[in-house]
Chains A and B, each alone.
Chain A
Amino acid sequence: MSKANREPLIHITKRKEMDWKQAWIIRVISIVCALIVCALVTMVMTGQDPLSIFGAILEGAFGTERKLWILGKETAVLLCVSVAMAPAFRMKFWNLGGEGQMLIGAWLTAACMIYLGGKVPSVVIILISLIGAIAIGAVWAGIPAFFKAKWNTNEVLFTLMMNYVAIQLVAYYIIIWENPKGSFNVGIINQSTRDGWLPYIGSFQYLLNILVVAAVTVLMYVYLQYSKHGYEIAVVGESQSTARYVGIKVDRVIIRTLLVSGGICGLCGFLMVAGTDHTITTTLAGGRGFLGILVAWLAQFNSLAMVLVSLLLCVMSRGAGEISTDYGLNQSFGDILTGIILFFIIGSEFFINYRINVRGSDKVIKEAKSAGPEGGLH
């Protein structure tokens, strides 16, 4: 073979549509690869036995009944934000304001608990803060949506900036509400009266939260998959000119969808304050507004698949906490492992969509030819 007619070593071609079985095999392989790399990294960096580290991770996530409940609570919060992001991202509206929308809902809930506590029955506080939190979350997302719909402002910057407004607002009120004075800490609100606290179901503190989020998840699935609104969202997301062409009022759909998205974030804030934390800090959202976006993407906006993805992330983060105490490892070590796993999961999508052809292999042609008449579409 002369030098002149050398074929490039590798070239990349698009694959034919892969059936879901094959796709899942690739995904599973990628997770196995991820675990192997995690094990190697663990051995090299810490000298620990990787199996025992994995064991510790599982122990940290599932080890005791209490740990299981905490895992459920954490998963519910992350899932709730992810579900909230789904309609906006389906519409290709990049809502980066989940943090702020959650926080502002939490702020309103805390305000209701503090100002109404002892004045009206607890159930009234719960109702008012529930409705208020959803409404204010919706408004927080609705403002950038309105500007986007009317004047086509950039929603990425706008929603991001709204986060800082919410954080500053909460910071300001924390100083007003601080208890005891000078602690920069709100402390547990209504600790003695439990006014505005969500009731326990039986003896389970977190069960109500989990059930609410589960219901929201299923509802969102149905909403996006089967409702007329969901269909409109999909059309607007794919092509605004098609939407206009069939008479869909694009600006109205954008605003309506963001009200839903922000409302669920507000609900999430409410659940965290009234259901589990009973206090408020500026870091209450803790980056979950952004993590939720990742979950939504990985699950390809299928809210049922989000359950699995958010569970995986929460297991990893709970496990990371465990190994940091057990082995005296840095907390960040858990993040490294999570990063490796995510890298492989996201990377597997590349192999599902593309094929790499190495020089001298004629597989591509065979594959295409065997697909022949059915695949040709001409």
Chain B
Amino acid sequence: MRNITKTFGTIVANDDVSLDIYKGEILSLLGENGSGKTTLMNMLSGIYYPDAGQILINGQPVTISSPREAFEYGIGMIHQHFKLVDVFSAAENIVLGLEEEGRLDLVRAGERIRKICDTYGFDVDPTQKIYNMSVSQKQTVEIVKVLYRGADILILDEPTAVLTPQETERLFAVLRNMKKDGKTVVIITHKLHEVEEISDRVAVLRKGKYIGDMITSQTNAQEMTNMMVGREVSLNIERPEPVNPRPRIRVDGLTVRSADNVLKLDDVTFTVNSGEILGIAGISGCGQKELLESIAGLQKVESGTISFVNNDGSEESLIGKDPLQIAEMGVSLSFVPEDRLGMGLVGSMDLTDNMMLRSFRRGRSVFTDRKTPKKLAEKVVDELEVNTPGVSTPVRRLSGGNVQKVLVGREIASSPTVLLSAYAVRGLDINSSYTIYDLLNQQKKDGVAVVYVGEDLDVLLELCDRILVLCSGRVSGIVPGKEADKNKVGLMMTRLGGGDSDE
């Protein structure tokens, strides 16, 4: 790829990027969020068309203006969000959109799929329906789909984000097999240990610009981070000792069903203490969302109790109360939800109006007071170093990290006693992530009971005092953060209590 530039509105996603990809290698494309990794690869796979620059394959200049044309050049991309038809079988999904000679022959397609699977060590049943599959199986179908179309260059966009450590291992084994077969693999990621584990070479992008590439074996995590961020960063998360922890929220036998009657939480019991960070680990969709929303008063609870424990030890039930009633009880409960722009903030409103969400009811006047929230917005921008043209910019126009700072800033501003956070650093770059960890630690030091739902096990193990592991809506175990072992937690995520180790 030569001198590629792509812009969206005023945002320059890729600025004069030149990148070489060699045959038969595994290349990691590393960069913070918003550094243009996905955009660059989307141009290679025909989703976007570059504003300037030229793509060359085997030295020949080519034009790739659709995914179909990309396939003609042997380029296939596996996106972060799977593009599969739920009610179709694996084989049906794989042949979907192919215009082959003759009539649709699923049996023959199935045979070809099995052959591909045998070559690379996949485990796919061509007749299984997608809706019966786990996330990692769906991902496998996506990969086979690309191989079925004869791709020689595979691009994987953050493939491990949705996988457990064990599943990641299996994926990496497959990728190595592909490399042996002469295929080229590009893997987009921001997890450094994965770069070190799988790739031969690593290319770094920062703010849309190409920074450089290195042979993986000749570099280390610190060097890669510095290239990615552009300056020295410390990679340690501090974990101060909890001071005087006492029970704050007691959850007992909590059972929740979703609207379509699926059991989401099953007999969940635990306690959140003040002055500590309780981590919640689990494969995504294992009831984390329902758990937090139950505490925040946003979820209908089937059975069980949730109570708030006052300093004097008396308990008040939070069940059946909506967020307003909880606030009226005098419980200052802050919640940083997973879906920032869909739930925590209003994307089209500016910073000031978003600050108002929590406080606009204050006072008797029928009119809203915009002065106080404006001051708060300015304070948050100032203290958390939010990168925004001003407080009257719609939050939708900010980048993910800045959106999150606005949300966390507002939630902390009400000096909460309980702070719930779901995937607080999802989609955030390293810098912003560390800012968020610091903020959470600060809250912890102030005696706040912090609940941190996370997906990166390494971070959970470093940040949290205790980790509650969820497995399909049930408590698989609670382990102390200091002594927890990553593999053990990984196993607990997939099997209740961790089961027998199969290694």
Instruction: List A residues at the B interface (Cβ < 8 Å).
Output: 2, 4-8, 11, 13-17, 226-231, 234-235, 238-239, 241-242, 244-247, 249, 357, 362, 364-365, 367-369, 371-372, 374-378
Contact = CB atoms under 8 A, between A and B. Distances in A.
B343 A364 contact: no
Nearest to B34: A378
Given A242-B343, A365-B51, A4 B62 contact: yes
A8 B65 contact: yes
Most central of A6, A226, A247, A368 by chain B CB within 10 Å: A247
A378 B327 contact: no
B494 to A, nearest CB: 30
Contacts of A238: 346-349
A53 to B, nearest CB: 42
A15 B9 contact: yes
Contacts of A244: 298, 322-323
B357 interface: yes
B240 interface: no
B49 A371 contact: no
Interface string B333-344: 001010101111
A367 B10 contact: yes
B345 interface: yes
Given A365-B5, A374-B389, A242 B10 contact: no
Which 6 pairs from chain A and chain B are nearest by CB? A375-B10, A247-B324, A371-B10, A247-B323, A368-B7, A16-B10
B52 to A, nearest CB: 6
B365 to A, nearest CB: 8
Interface string B349-366: 100010011101100011
Contact of B12 (A8, A247, A369): A369
A225 to B, nearest CB: 9
Interface of B: 5, 7-12, 34, 49, 51-52, 54, 60-63, 65, 207, 296, 298, 322-325, 327, 335, 337, 339, 341-349, 353, 356-358, 360-361, 365-368, 387-389, 397-399, 402
A290 to B, nearest CB: 26
Given A5-B63, A245-B323, A247-B325, 12 more contacts: A13-B7, A13-B8, A13-B9, A228-B365, A238-B348, A241-B343, A245-B298, A245-B335, A245-B344, A364-B51, A365-B7, A377-B389
Contact of A368 (B12, B65, B327, B402): B12
Contacts of A245: 296, 298, 323, 335, 337, 343-344
A231 B360 contact: yes
Nearest to A247: B324
Contacts of B348: 238
Most central of A2, A8, A228, A357 by chain B CB within 10 Å: A228
B51 A241 contact: no
B63 A4 contact: yes
Contacts of B341: 239
Contacts of B12: 365, 368-369, 372, 376
A7 B52 CA distance: 10
Nearest to B346: A238
A378 B387 contact: yes
A5 B61 contact: yes
B366 A227 contact: yes
A245 B11 CA distance: 31
Given A8-B49, A245-B323, A245-B337, A227 B367 contact: yes
A13 to B, nearest CB: 7
Contacts of A362: 51-52
A6 B63 contact: yes
A249 B325 CA distance: 11
A14 B343 contact: no
